[in-house]
Amino acid sequence: AEANGLGVRYFIDRVLDDRGSATYSHEMTHLLDRTVLFNNLGRRDGTGAEFYARGMFENSYTPESDTYLNLNFVYDHSDKDGFYNKKPDRFQSPEDLKTYMQRSFDVLYTLDYLEAEASKDMSPQDKIKYFKKIIPVGTKGSRTWVDYRNAAVKPSHMSEEIQSLSLEEANQLSDIDSLIAHHILVNRYIIAGFRDRGLIEANGYYTIDMFDTIYGVSQNDSGMSGDISFRKQAFELMAALGYYEGFVPYVSNQYKQAAEAEGRPLSDTYIFSKILKGKTYADFKKDQIKERVAKLGQLKPVTIQHEGQEIALTSQKVNDLMKKAVQ
């Protein structure tokens, strides 16, 4: 299918089945991401059409098995098991969306912390096998540049690359803060297809799996960051601050005119100075995780069915299961 600026045209997918509806959500994102979705503020300078569809607003094609960050704005899945909201009407207000995402990250940040704790006593050699790093590199791929009237303003956008760790780098990984500081993610994260390392070109079809932990953050002083960090941080900001308070300012051109008036490009750093009250993104993420860690002892027991067995989950049980999984 394609979005041509006026509507959506289908070539292969059938509009009335699940795949067709998911495709519709992808193409409608292209039609609405300059206006309705972003409060008429436009796509952020340095992005492209695919920054917002796949991995952000496009509905999952297989919601019973997919585990990437996603929101269900299309289907009634009341009769199915999955990791997403059952029905679109779960969200009646921006506050509903913030609450849902906040509670999702209550779980995800807790698991991220427990995984970091379970892996911190590994040997450096084992950490090389368990982790890798995602680092900013010069921009590659397709971007939509938004002109600045002030010719002195020169944005510089970044792409990303996933690389293996050196022994020296592995030796520096001691706790979750060090994982954040050194741009670490777990080795099981897949970029696309079977590719788990290499360049992440701009404007690609990427998703952020909820359980393939990305500890690292990205903050570009002169433009925007790469596709993976952009998507992950957009969802984190939605959870912490809200759709219009955190998500939209980060993914749109909301602060472009203000930045240009100060002789600066619209950058991660400029946006974070407006919405994070002076914190760097790394400090913001560390604080988010600390909030969850402080409440670990308050986790209420939950009983689940897993592989035909009934399991009572307490905070200690979850911790034990994480240690077993990491080992």
List residues with catalytic annotation.
27
Q: How far is CA 118 from CA 121, 166, 169, 171, 187, in A?
A: 7, 21, 19, 16, 15
Going by C-alpha positions, the residue among 121, 104, 132 that lies closest to residue 323 is 121
Give the span between the Cα atoms of 232 and 110, in whole angstroms: 16
Sign for the pseudo-dihedral over CA of 127, 132, 136, 138? positive
Q: Is 262 helix (H, G, I), strand (E, B) or coil?
A: coil
Contacts of 41 (CB under 8 A, 6+ apart): 248, 252, 253, 254
Compute the C-alpha angle 320/81/52, nearest 5°. 95
Under 8 Å between Cβ of 303 and 310: yes
Going by C-alpha positions, the residue among 226, 223, 251, 221 that lies closest to residue 237 is 251
Going by C-alpha positions, the residue among 23, 18, 33, 17 that lies closest to residue 8 is 23
Give the span between the Cα atoms of 118 and 327, in whole angstroms: 8
